[in-house]
Amino acid sequence: MINIAKSSLYAITALIVTVFLSAEVYSKDRILRAHTGSPGANSHTSTVVVGKVLGSKLGFTLQVNDSQTLTRSALMLGRGQLDWFPMPTAIPFLMAKGLGPYKKEPMKSKAAAQLKNIRAIWGWNANLFHFVTFDVDKIKTFKDIKGKVVYTGPPSGAAAVTSESIIRALTGYKPNVDYTARRLPWGGGLQAMLDGKLDVYTRPSAVGGAILEQLGMKKKYRLLDAEDPATLKKWSKHPARVIGTIPAGSYKAQVNNDKDLIAAGTTFFISMNKDNISADLAYGMTKLTWKHLDEIYKSAKTLSAIDPNKPFTGVNVPLHVGAIKYYREVGIKIPKRLIPPEAK
């Protein structure tokens, strides 16, 4: 069973999806707590789909609170108030360095302490940042956003930090100096775009994401093109960042969908509290992810970037001891940096 509690500025609803347990029941009646982003985001899709597939095999119930700011959720995970969720690779980097929302004390010290309790089992190239404008005639390039109002992501979130860094890498523009960076919760940002209060709406999404289809129901839009991968080369040296392509024809409502677009993206990994999740459960979650990957793909095409040949993509925290057991069993070499103290 997956219980998804939806919360936004506008409504709080509950959706209960029942997952019928197979004979491979692992831990009957166990409840795992997770946070995720807003519906339509890849973090949300991966939480629900992976949770459903693994829950049906291992017999756990997943309780999900969506539309969350994951930089805050990471602290809760470290404290043991959550059990697991798909985490942007950027968050552990910010926690370790005391940057972004963790810049000031006491948050800086809290982040460093809670990071020690976070583990991973696998990661993937999760998102490409889509910069969307309805003003298709006046805003054609990133340079055209000067003086405009741009939604960059939720307050204190990693997405806002990342999207603003992309703009700066491509144009040199600084937020709230060269353009107005509007930070709102995910739902509020989408509504502001639909209400015509934004010039550009930024959304991290896997190619084909539902949010882009939703925007297209409002009107035609343009996706801004980074054009030259070389302009993002320095930006992409960060371990959480990748350069990707939005293929031609990906979105019907996109006016410039006749060619491939260059886009900046980010990686995610499946994070968990090292003590809340047992070694046996982490082992099972790791093993069954790769065993039932086709089922995950069929459930959501936006998760097709999960690559069994690159299980440590975007992983920048130590692996859970249960995951280590699995990878050693199947002969996959584990980088030394991913071995936790408890496994040495």
Residue length of the chain? 344
Q: How far is CA 187 from the centre of its chain?
A: 16
pLDDT of residue 2: 61
pLDDT of residue 67: 86
Domain range 127-266, its CATH number among 3.40.1280.10, 3.40.190.10, 3.50.50.60, 3.30.499.10: 3.40.190.10
pLDDT of residue 140: 98
pLDDT of residue 22: 36
pLDDT of residue 8: 36
Superfamily of domain 2-124+270-343: Periplasmic binding protein-like II (3.40.190.10)
Radius of gyration of the chain from Cα atoms? 20
Question: What are residue 11's phi and psi, to 5 degrees?
Answer: -160, 155
Residue type, 124: W
3-state secondary structure the chain: CEEEEEECCCCEEEEEECCCCCCCCCCCCEEEEEECCCCCCHHHHHHHHHHHHHHHHHCEEEEEECCCCHHHHHHHHHHCCCCEEEEECHHHHHHHHCCHHHCCCCHHHHHHHHHCCEEEEEEEEEEEEEEEECCCCCCCCHHHHCCCEEEEECCCCHHHHHHHHHHHHHHCCCECCCEEEEECCHHHHHHHHHCCCCCEEEEEECCCCHHHHHHHHHCCEEECCCCCHHHHCCHHHCCCEEEEEECCCCCCCECCCCCCEEEEEEEEEEEEECCCCCHHHHHHHHHHHHHCHHHHHHHCHHHCCCCCCCCECCCCCCECHHHHHHHHHCCCCCCHHHCCHHHC
pTM for this predicted structure: 0.81
Boundaries of every domain in the chain: 2-124+270-343, 127-266
pLDDT digits (tens, 9 = 90+) for 68-107: 989 999 999 999 999 999 999 999 999 999 998 999 999 9
Buried b (16+ CB within 10 A) or exposed e, 165-179: bbbebbbebebeebb
Q: Which distant-in-sequence residues (6+ apart) come within 8 Å of 230 by Cβ?
A: none
> 127-266: same fold as 2-124+270-343?
yes
Q: Which distant-in-sequence residues (6+ apart) come within 8 Å of 181 by Cβ?
A: 150, 152, 160, 164, 175
pLDDT digits (tens, 9 = 90+) for 59-75: 999 999 998 989 999 99
* Distances, alpha carbon 283 to alpha carbons 122, 320, 324, in Å: 11, 8, 8
- The list of the chain residues with pLDDT below 50 reads 6-29
